[in-house]
Amino acid sequence: MPREHRIERINEFVAAKKEVSLAEIFEMFPEVSTMTVRRDLEILEQRGTLMRLRGKVRAITKQFKFREESYNLRAKENVDGKKIIASKAMKYIQRGCSMFFDAGTTSMALAECIGDGDYFILTSGPNIALELIKKEGVNVIMTGGHMDRDFLNVTGANAMALVDSINIDIAFLTPSGFSVDGHFTVGNADHAELKKVIIKKAHTVVMLMDATKLDKNLPYTFARMEDIDVLICDKPLPDIVVREALKNDVTVV
């Protein structure tokens, strides 16, 4: 059966039942591997028609859209944890090299930790740029494009064109969710595409993830464990996540 036909059958099945177990979906296609079916589910998740949970799949309808909370709400969550992550991330901050700071509340905590110095920092967060420009000697560049007022993030074609023209030594990225099968996710397609471009450009990718993101899966995957170099969290990670990181030579902090 061609992949697209199989994907259509899965989508119709999940839409009809609203929520199904992975085992039910695997049983529909005994002729293909479970890994192949998981890839089909990933495609549907990226299209925004379903979301994967632990051992099951849920349809995303007009009445149920998995949306991220606005910046102001997220800024009040796990403040101490984000400060811990920022302090640990300072080890990877380097003078005289090109760095990228993702938009988001954890990145803001890192920007607040930065002192004066010879830093070159590209960011997609206008509030982060304003924080960094207070520091003496810091050269700040912002991505151009469309600004999302809910998330204080500038993305789009112009942003990606600028990123493509700049060398990035170290990128500090933040996910909105991290699924049990190792996917770093966000709830906005444009945000995901910009992060993917950053990952391709960066020599070193440092993921800043507070514990509230664990086992939270949003529609758009922008990275997997093998795409990053360092994973920093404010609390001990589940053994299964640590094993996956070690398997991919990812430093866990």
Could you tell me which residues are beta bridge partners of residue 202? 168
**Mean pLDDT on 51-66:** 67
Could you tell me the CA-to-CA distances from 113 to 109, 135, 179 in Å, in that order? 7, 10, 29
What residue segments make up the domains of the chain, in order of their start? 3-59, 71-252
How many other CB atoms sit within 10 Å of the CB of residue 20? 18
* Mean pLDDT for all residues in the chain: 87
138: which strand partners?
119
pLDDT tens-digit readout, 59-89: 875 444 444 455 455 555 668 889 999 999 9
Q: Which amino acid is at 131?
A: E
Check whether 151 has a pLDDT greater than 80. Answer: no
pTM above threshold 0.95: no
Write down the architecture of domain 71-252 according to CATH: 3-Layer(aba) Sandwich (3.40)
Name the DSSP class of 68.
Answer: P
Sign of CA dihedral 143, 147, 153, 158: negative
Note the residue count of the chain.
Answer: 253
pLDDT tens, position by position, 228-250: 999 999 999 888 889 989 999 99
Tokens of 138: 């810091």
Question: How many Cβ atoms from other residues are within 10 Å of residue 98's Cβ?
Answer: 20
Q: Evaluate whether 3-59 and 71-252 have a shared fold.
A: no
Token look-up 């994973």 returns: 231
Per CATH, the number for 3-59 is 1.10.10
DSSP string, 214-250: BT---SEEEEEGGG-SEEE-SSPPPHHHHHHHHHTTP
What is the chain's Cα-based Rg?
A: 19
